[in-house]
Chains A and B, each alone.
Chain A
Amino acid sequence: MDTSQGNPMMDDSITPQPTKDGGPRIDCRNIKVFYGQAEAIHDVSMSFPDRAVTALIGPSGCGKSTFLRCLNRMNDTIENCRVEGKILMDGEDINDADVDPVLLRSRVGMVFQKPNPFPKSIYDNIAYGPRIHGLANGREDLDAIVEKSLRRAGLWEEVKDRLSAPGTGLSGGQQQRLCIARAIAVQPEVILMDEPCSALDPIATARIEELIDELRNRYCIVIVTHSMQQAARVSQRTAFFHLGNLVEMGDTGQIFTNPREKRTEDYITGRFG
């Protein structure tokens, strides 16, 4: 899959700097989320290490997606939704008034459940972000970013001869990798994935999982998944949410072989909670 090895095109110019002193990329403190009066997330504190995959698992409605959306202020776009607490990214509170949410979302990219390429060419899907953020100096530079991003997303070989074809014409798995390439193109530090494989077949899923494994050498990745096997396969840390609470967080191996909390045990083994 990895076509980047030893490839001069894959210099690290679009790789984020590691965090200072190797600390967490994102540090969340006492996060509460309200929809109107209803509190959906109850005082959750957790941090996300750099260059590692953290999986958020839990039953539907447990708040894991709501929590994920806090990390790039996607909840701002939902009326009635209010977030309390501090989310520090490289020491800076992302909810500060002077933080531009658009800029933040380029640093914290997101991939959704259903692949959502723009109704544009494959090339323009990738080039759009770098253009509006002014990351490219001219066409040549832009071409290089498009190629690097597609290579890094493991899609280049499959699409290099039809870059002007519409992104929506690709298969589901290819579309999802296109969306990952699009997120990478704007030089994010963090990639959020909200059930990125639930609409894909097992082979396309395996490709995405392989890609996630490669990407974790460069990014802080947070993935929400309903598949515990997927969480077990791709992540190094796993957090279990239940009814808006963070029940338990730990090394993935420990969570799936020997969880400390009974609610985690009941959930991962498929028992009534």
Chain B
Amino acid sequence: MSDHIVSAYSEELERLSADLLKMGGIVETMITGACRALVSNDLDLAKEVVLRDPLVDTIEADAERQIVSLIARRQPMGHDLRMILSAMKISSELERIGDLSKNIAKRAQRLDENVNVEMRNAITRMAQPVSRQLKDVLNAYATGSADKAKAVWSADDDIDLHYNAVFREMLTHLVEDPRRITAGAHMLFMAKNLERIGDHCTNIAEFVYYQAVGDYLSELERPKQNQF
């Protein structure tokens, strides 16, 4: 899209979307970091992931200030208006993803010796499609692509299926050995967190789509597999 006559306006919009992508990048490393810490029982890495969260919160707060200022000073219209409104929503979705990732990293530090490798792997397996969804939706945002956003939006049922599978698998591990219950409860929350992250990715996809097209992705069409 061509530039505004007032070049400072274009620069402000670019800065806002760059900040959101930066936020997305940090959040991405938080999920992968949390899951790596889990699978390799790397407590230092888990701690480091937790420490990244305040940075995400700071960027979100700053993005919000930028948005308020843009609305007050520029009276955005058309695509600019949709972009700014979407940025407001997307930044809070990313902030939530950051919180959920932090929570996974925190729980990873609480696991005891009763957890076996299969349990750790089950969570990591589920983390892969979730990370991919986040990567894809950030890519859709960076390119402003409605098609990519829609693809992410339609792929969420895959994560729901993963979640259902992990849930059942985890129960099996717990039934086999009740000493695993404490750790297993933490891991069920981890799986739930990942499933929630997937939902936040679809929310972001909806805002990217709205920003690009000006229409709303209808909730009705989307397949839902989430049973729990």
Q: Which residues of A contact B (CB under 8 A)?
A: 228-229, 232, 256-259, 264-266, 268-272
Contact = CB atoms under 8 A, between A and B. Distances in A.
B172 interface: no
Nearest to B13: A269
Contacts of A271: 1-5
A257 B9 CA distance: 18
Contact of A270 (B5, B82, B214): B5
B81 A256 contact: yes
10 closest Cβ contacts across the A-B interface?
A258-B214, A268-B77, A269-B78, A265-B78, A269-B80, A270-B4, A256-B77, A268-B78, A271-B2, A270-B5
B4 A269 contact: yes
A216 B188 CA distance: 60
Given A229-B75, A257-B214, A258-B214, A270 B6 contact: yes
Contact of A256 (B3, B5, B78): B78
B76 interface: yes
Given A256-B78, A270-B9, A272-B2, 19 more contacts: A228-B75, A228-B77, A256-B77, A257-B77, A257-B81, A257-B82, A258-B214, A265-B79, A266-B2, A268-B78, A269-B76, A269-B77, A269-B78, A269-B79, A270-B4, A271-B1, A271-B3, A272-B3, A272-B5
A270 B6 CA distance: 8
B3 A259 contact: no
B121 to A, nearest CB: 46
A258 B2 contact: no
Interface string B206-228: 00000000110000000000000
Contacts of A266: 2
Interface centre among A229, A268, A269 (most CB of B within 10 A): A269
Interface string B1-28: 1111110010000000000000000000
A265 B75 CA distance: 14
A266 B77 CA distance: 10
A258 B209 CA distance: 13
Contacts of A268: 77-78
Nearest to A266: B2
Contacts of B4: 269-271
Contacts of B78: 256-259, 264-265, 268-269
Nearest to B82: A257
Contacts of B1: 271
A135 B134 CA distance: 72
18 contacts: A228-B75, A228-B77, A229-B75, A257-B78, A257-B214, A258-B82, A258-B215, A259-B78, A264-B78, A269-B4, A269-B77, A269-B79, A270-B4, A270-B5, A271-B1, A271-B2, A271-B4, A272-B3
A266 to B, nearest CB: 7
B76 to A, nearest CB: 7
Contacts of B214: 257-258
Nearest to A229: B75
A257 B211 CA distance: 10
Contacts of B81: 256-257
A86 B76 CA distance: 37
